[in-house]
């Protein structure tokens, strides 16, 4: 159901968002957060093989990963080296491990986003690094919704009338648009690079 359709079912046309309306916007926040995660991970899968060859910054991050991958607490891990040497395509195996390391966990923090940008060789895109901070409200709300059911501290203690966080409609919309617009900017920057 869309927000206008849900809003039309209200007896009174104005006022605070209803519980159902908040839930609709909460779903949008969760999906926008998932969109950021998905777009950045797909960019890594698609562009890392190209960027480690073209971009000095991406290559440096890849070399840093390779060095760490082949070590165990600061010393060379002979078993890890042997695993690479016995494969038919050591470079492909190492790149696959690199991509897995970048896409294995949920990308839901500013630091994970900026690490992904660096791995993609977008270090010259200073505005993207700076603007990643603008994703924090989306990530915070998404985590509250997905992991804490958007419960307020008073709800956890069993007191208070408001048991779930309430945000203004504009806040929900701004968070979602910020996340999705940011993804488009990353893709545009990558299109210029590859």
Q: In the chain, what are the domain boundaries?
A: 18-193
**Length reported for the chain:** 194
What is the SS3 assignment for 12?
A: coil
What pLDDT was estimated at residue 160?
56
Identify which of 124, 106, 133, 116 has the alpha carbon closest to the alpha carbon of residue 193.
124
**Mean pLDDT per 10-residue section of the chain, whose length is 194 residues:** 72 76 93 97 96 95 94 86 92 94 92 96 95 97 88 66 83 97 97 89
Taken in order 67, 68, 73, 74, the sign of the CA dihedral is: positive
CB count within 10 Å of CB 167 equals 18
Q: Can you give the pLDDT at residue 7?
A: 67
d(CA 167, CA 22): 8
pLDDT at 159: 59
* 164 phi and psi angles, rounded to 5 deg: -130, 150
pLDDT at residue 142 in the model: 95
């Amino acid at each position: 159901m869309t927000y206008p359709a849900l809003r039309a079912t209200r007896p009174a046309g104005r006022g605070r968002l209803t519980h159902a309306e908040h839930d609709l916007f909460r779903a949008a926040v969760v999906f926008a957060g998932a969109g950021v995660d998905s777009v950045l991970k797909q960019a890594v899968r698609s562009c890392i093989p190209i960027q480690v060859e073209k971009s000095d910054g991406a290559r440096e991050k890849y070399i840093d990963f390779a060095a760490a991958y082949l070590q165990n607490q600061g010393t060379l891990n002979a078993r890890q080296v042997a695993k690479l040497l016995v494969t038919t395509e050591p470079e492909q195996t190492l790149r696959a491990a690199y991509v897995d390391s970048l896409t294995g966990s949920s990308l839901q923090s500013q630091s994970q986003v900026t690490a992904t940008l660096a791995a993609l060789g977008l270090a010259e895109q200073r505005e993207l690094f700076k603007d990643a901070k603008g994703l924090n409200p989306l990530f915070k709300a998404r985590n509250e919704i997905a992991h804490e059911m958007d419960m307020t501290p008073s709800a956890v203690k069993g007191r208070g009338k408001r048991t779930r966080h309430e945000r203004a409609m504009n806040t929900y919309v701004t968070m979602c648009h910020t996340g999705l617009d940011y993804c488009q900017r990353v893709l545009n920057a990558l299109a210029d690079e590859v």
